[in-house]
Amino acid sequence: MNDDAWIERFKGLRRLPDEIKETLVKRSQVVTVPGGTKVFGPGLEPDNLLLLIEGTVKVSQTSESGREIVLYRVEAGQSCVLTTACLLAHEAYSAEGVAETAVTAVAIPRAVFDDLSATSPQFRSFVFAAYARRITDLFRVIDEVAFGKIDVRLADRLIGLAGGSDELEVTHQQLATELGTAREVISRQLSEFQKRGWIRLSRGRVSLHDTPALERLAASAGGPQALVAACVTTSPTCAVGQGSLIRNLTPERPAMTANVGTIDRIFRAALGVALLWFAFFSGLPLADNPVMKYGAGIIGVVMLVVAVVRVCPIYSIFGLRTCA
């Protein structure tokens, strides 16, 4: 690969002025690591911003109880939102990144990142555009874990991991990690799928026997009636009655009353990130005013919290909602 060829892999970088591109090429380094390499971990501070050229990095977090959840994956043409956040805030990682495959990436040193973020509006726009896109992925994970039904999420993940194949080499524990739940929960739900004839289980392997049924479940809102209908219409041998099926699929926790829709959440997230950047990273004279600085910071945090939990107290008071 030519010294500057990697820049063309990233749409936002292609639009940078030539002098900025030259700085990036001269001061950055293309690195390669084998699959299984720990790219970063909790307590470590980032020295570089990594832009992936090839491969995949899995980013996950482990709770105090030892339960692990996959937050997102960084793939070719992307950067890591957690690394960006840690570089901006000068903080250590709170999660772990592991190369799932051999990875080739561009390492932009912290000094270069700080310098260009402060002096180049075009580079700053590239960083925050990538940051905003990945934030929506995190919202999706939070949304699924907090509100999603495990049967729907599992069906969707099985289809995604299969990638068009009918065979998956995956353990129950790996699926539990993917979905942020206990292995026992996954084992129980996989057994239900097997009873309906949708899958066949063997050691370290899941065979998809009725992919259309899984797709219908994954595309549904996850209600018990949807799964009952899928079971009845696709698997005459289903051994679970509708009454017990509905009881099994009733959420184990009460649902929060969400009143903030998707577009509203994205807007609030973008506004929150922009306000935090203005307050703590912009260096603008206006941000030197304590009232403006901390006022913008507090509002930014509130915007991000509301975007995550999908509940706006003001909407609740006036009976407003922007979601279906």
- For 20-45, what is the mean pLDDT? 93
Top-confidence residue, 278 or 172: 172
The pLDDT of residue 99 is: 95
**pLDDT at res. 238:** 42
pLDDT, one tens digit per residue, over 101-141 is 999 999 999 999 999 988 888 888 888 888 777 776 666 66
* 3 state SS for the chain: CCCCHHHHHCHHHHCCCHHHHHHHHHHCEEEEECCCCEEECCCCCCCEEEEEEECEEEEEEECCCCCEEEEEEEECCCECHHHHHHHHHCCCCCCEEEECCCEEEEEEEHHHHHHHHHHCHHHHHHHHHHHHHHHHHHHHHHHHHHHCCHHHHHHHHHHHHHCCCCEECCCHHHHHHHHCCCHHHHHHHHHHHHHCCCEEEECCEEEECCHHHHHHHHHCCCCHHHHHHHHHHHCCCCCCCHHHHHHHHCCCCCCCCCCCCHHHHHHHHHHHHHHHHHHHCCCCHHHHCHHHHHHHHHHHHHHHHHHHHCCCHHHHHHCCCCCC
150-249: same fold as 5-146?
no
Architecture of domain 150-249: Orthogonal Bundle (1.10)
Domain map (residue ranges) of the chain: 5-146, 150-249, 262-318
Report the range out of 96-110, 222-236, 255-269 with the highest average pLDDT: 96-110
Confidence (pLDDT) at 143: 66
Residue with more model confidence, 250 or 124: 124
> Mean pLDDT in the chain?
80
Least confident piece of the model among 15-19, 132-136, 189-193, 217-221 = 132-136
pLDDT at 318: 67
Q: Looking at residue 147, what is its pLDDT?
A: 66
Q: Residue 3's pLDDT is what?
A: 55
At residue 243 the predicted structure's pLDDT band, cuts being 50, 70 and 90, is very low
Between 292 and 87, whose confidence is greater?
87
Reply yes or no on whether the pLDDT at 229 is more than 60.
no
What's this model's pTM, rounded to 2 decimal places? Answer: 0.57
The pLDDT value given to residue 146: 62
> Average pLDDT for residues 71-86, to the nearest whole number?
88
Q: Using alpha carbons, list the distances in angstroms from residue 74 to 54, 87, 97, 275.
A: 10, 17, 9, 26
Tell me, what's the pLDDT at 118? Answer: 86
**Pick the residue with more confidence: 31 or 129?**
31
Percent of the chain with pLDDT over 70: 83
Q: What is the mean pLDDT of residues 23-48?
A: 93
pLDDT at 47: 93
Per-residue pLDDT tens over the stretch 262-320 = 888 888 888 888 888 888 777 777 877 767 777 788 888 888 888 887 888 777 766 77
pLDDT for 220 equals 78
pLDDT > 50? residue 252: no
Residue 255 pLDDT > 50: no
What's the CATH number for 5-146? 2.60.120.10
Give tens-digit pLDDT for 175-189.
988 887 888 999 999
Please indicate whether residue 34 or residue 304 has the higher confidence score (pLDDT). Answer: 34
How confident is the model at residue 164, as a pLDDT? 84
Beta bridge partners of 58: 73, 98
